């Protein structure tokens, strides 16, 4: 069973449907025990970093996510959910994140279109990652105004190019993050999600 963590800010149902299409049971939940008992967990997110962390702390789910990550079972952050894995974000002030991956989240700066929106090609930096089993580089769908900067190169699994190198997929141990929405990113997105889910078996 895959727990999709409900803290009031996520595209929960599209993620749930994608998980089910891949043949896994999905439960949208805010129940700490259900989350801890799950074979895998997904932290989705749409909206502002500070609001998301406030909701996680208010419900105590910040501690649950950290405990889940420490258990060694697979955890995936999607979009804002990926950014929450990092130490802090500068979105509307400085906000502390979950701190599962060292690094920060900053706003795009430059004379180009913000938010970064559309289909961009992934570059796999660590092809040995289980997320990339059987896959070739292709395009996925991004919508974001802020991007993550991991402190450690070893946590950076894939990038894309948007006027600079942009973090697309991160991972350390059993904790992973995708800046794009895999459930809205065609065949490659679904295959990446499927490879993550296969880690839960």
Active-site residue numbers? 79, 181, 183
Region of 173 please: left (phi>0), alpha (psi -120 to 50) or beta.
left
- List residues bridging with 170 in a β-sheet: 156, 177
**Which whole-number Å values give the CA distances from 184 to 17, 78, 187, in the listed order?**
11, 11, 9
* 201 Cβ contact list (under 8 Å, min separation 6): 39
Q: What letter does residue 155 receive in the DSSP assignment?
A: G
């Amino acid at each position: 069973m895959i727990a999709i963590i409900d803290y009031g800010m996520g595209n929960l149902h599209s993620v749930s449907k994608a998980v089910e299409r891949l043949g896994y049971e999905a439960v949208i939940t805010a129940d700490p025990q259900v989350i801890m008992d799950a074979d895998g967990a997904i932290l989705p997110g749409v909206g502002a970093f500070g609001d998301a962390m406030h909701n996680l702390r208010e419900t105590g789910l910040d501690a649950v996510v950290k405990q889940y990550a420490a258990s060694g079972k697979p955890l995936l952050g999607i979009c804002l959910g990926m950014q929450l894995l990092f130490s802090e974000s500068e979105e509307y002030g400085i906000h502390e994140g979950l701190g599962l991956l060292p690094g920060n989240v900053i706003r795009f700066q430059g004379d180009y279109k913000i938010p970064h929106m559309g289909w961009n090609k992934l570059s796999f930096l660590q092809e040995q990652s289980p997320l990339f089993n059987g896959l070739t580089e292709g395009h996925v769908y991004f919508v974001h105004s802020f991007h993550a900067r991991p402190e450690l190169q070893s946590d950076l699994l894939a990038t894309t190019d948007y006027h600079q190198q942009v973090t697309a997929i991160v991972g350390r141990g059993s904790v992973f993050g995708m800046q794009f929405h895999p459930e809205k990113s065609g065949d490659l997105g679904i295959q990446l999600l499927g490879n993550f889910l296969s880690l839960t078996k």
